[in-house]
Amino acid sequence: MSPASSSSAVIAVPSEPIGILTEAWRNVVGTGRLNLALRADYRDSLALVQSEIGFRHIRGHGLLSDDLGVHRPYDAAGHRGTRYSFTYVDQVLDCYLELGIRPFLELGFMPSGLASGEQTVFWWEGNVTPPADYAEWAALIRALLRHLISRYGIDEVRTWPIEVWNEPNLVHFWQDADREEYFRLYEASVLAVKDVDAELTVGGPAISPGADEWWGPFADFVSRRDLPADFLSFHAYTSGPSETVPFGVYQTLRHPSDLLGQFARPAELLAGTRLEGLPLHVTEFNTSYRPDNPVHDTAYNAAALAPVLAGGGDHVDSFAYWTFCDVFEEENIPTAIFHGGFGMLTHRQIKKPTFHLYAFMARMGPEILARGQDHLVTRHPDGRIAVLAWQSVGGTDDPEEPAEHRLSLSLPMTSPAGSVYARRSDVDGERGNAFTAWQRLGRPASPTRRQEEALREAAEPVRSHSSLPIADGRVRLDVTLQRHGIALIELDAVIDETPPWLDDRRILGRAGR
């Protein structure tokens, strides 16, 4: 069915579950560099995300970069050596754990005092050259992990996956994208990790999309050297080349199903190798890979990612939305509150449509009753039904989505009650959409307090409720979505406790006269 089509027939949802909704969609979320966790607005944003969504792990760059100050070589007053400082690392990790989220540690970037060159990436200048001394790099890894174990306990740190570097297949992130040099880094890193504790979990290679040619050599290298690999990691995006404009970009987009294809690809390529069957972690994914693409701020982004959240757990163990908030500075400090940032939240915690997609997912039940191209139906242990519905959308080369999308479901409701209470939340191009409100306000770069209040109000989903009859153990649910719409509908069986003497027709004194 094309994106321009709407469902017409009633879909009969079975009463027995067809599967279990995995936690893959919420197991990891991405963040800007870890140093940002020292900021109050970042912590406020993460607290909001955790209260309404509740991610399990968080992954970001810069654990070993200079702005966290871990690696501190010295040569003064006749003393020479290296001191390890964990002052900021402890504050960052304490923040995460206090908010109920664990780190997914990424080993990078290179401390300048250990780097073999001066090449950097991003406005904040993360060094992306190999270590000048691999023995010193290994010593740094061991010192870091021993400190973390001392502070947080071995049982806790064993739950933190450890990833070696970020996108070494790209010259921006690894000098010359030198595969053999990355393999050398991987070997030194994983051996250092296991030297501290054999049960710590470590893996890689954290490659970007379009790097399938890395999987075979990586599997061969790990097998030939008999190296640890507890999981495999990679990234997935659907955007094409960037067309740059001042303080932003436009990009073409592939069909959202391309993301699920990317999720499935490594398992296909590694079949028959020693790495077959290992846990797979998508440690970054989104539509666009740019932190200044306005698509991230739109309802389209939420509708495009809805089927990915619904089905991604079929292929991988986690897939980390990149990122949870717009406190993010890879392309310098943002110049406007809406600037195409990766985040589910803008600065000052204004919710974007994609935030609501994740908040809706957090309210789904564990039993999957049905899953289609525009819906996910789940059941809670107490019998409540939760439906996530969305308009199927396409990419740049697909037909433009229509103004409306209709879906009809026949839902099982085994209850002696005669009706259900249906509570609905809607987000689309108009509703639950602060970006649209911001456009109508004239796109103020730094909103006034009154404008910010208007944006917060516009960002909330439109909520409605109704009563639906149960007939022969089933409920008919008809859903109409507006363009790029997503909706959460929750159905609770109603036990009517109305006393016989009450007559609501008499409230205004017009009945019984």
Query: What are the residue numbers of the active site?
Result: 167, 284
Non-local CB neighbours of 28 within 8 Å, separated by 6+ positions: 55, 56, 57, 58, 59, 104, 281, 283, 318, 319, 320
**DSSP-derived pairing of the beta strands 462-469 and 419-427:** antiparallel
Task: Specify the DSSP class assigned to residue 377.
Answer: E
The amino acid present at 401, given as its one-letter code, is: E
Instruction: Burial-class residue 241 by CB neighbours within 10 Å (0-12, 13-18, 19+).
Output: exposed
Other Cβ atoms closer than 10 A to 5: 15
Nearest Cα to Cα of residue 28 among 13, 48, 49, 8: 49
Which DSSP string corresponds to 340-362? --S-SB-GGGPBPHHHHHHHHHT
Q: Are 69 and 88 in contact (CB under 8 A)?
A: yes
Q: For residues 152 and 149, what is the distance between their CA atoms, to the nearest angstrom? A: 5
Q: For residues 163 and 228, what is the distance between their CA atoms, to the nearest angstrom? A: 12
- Extract the tokens encoding 307: 């089927």
Residue with tokens 């579950």: 17
- CA 319-317-358 angle, to 5 degrees, is 40
Q: Identify any residues that bridge with 407 across adjacent strands, giving them in sequence order.
A: 479
- Extract the tokens encoding 408: 């009809």
Non-local CB neighbours of 251 within 8 Å, separated by 6+ positions: 239, 240, 241, 242, 243, 288, 290, 293, 295
- Extract the tokens encoding 468: 């639906």
Instruction: Burial-class residue 406 by CB neighbours within 10 Å (0-12, 13-18, 19+).
Output: middle
Other Cβ atoms closer than 10 A to 277: 10
Q: Is the N-terminal amide bond of 323 cis, ω within 30° of 0?
A: yes
Q: Is the N-terminal amide bond of 109 cis, ω within 30° of 0?
A: yes
Other Cβ atoms closer than 10 A to 471: 12
- For helices 134-152 and 179-196, angle between their N-to-C axes, nearest 10 degrees: 40
Non-local CB neighbours of 306 within 8 Å, separated by 6+ positions: 357, 376, 388, 390, 486
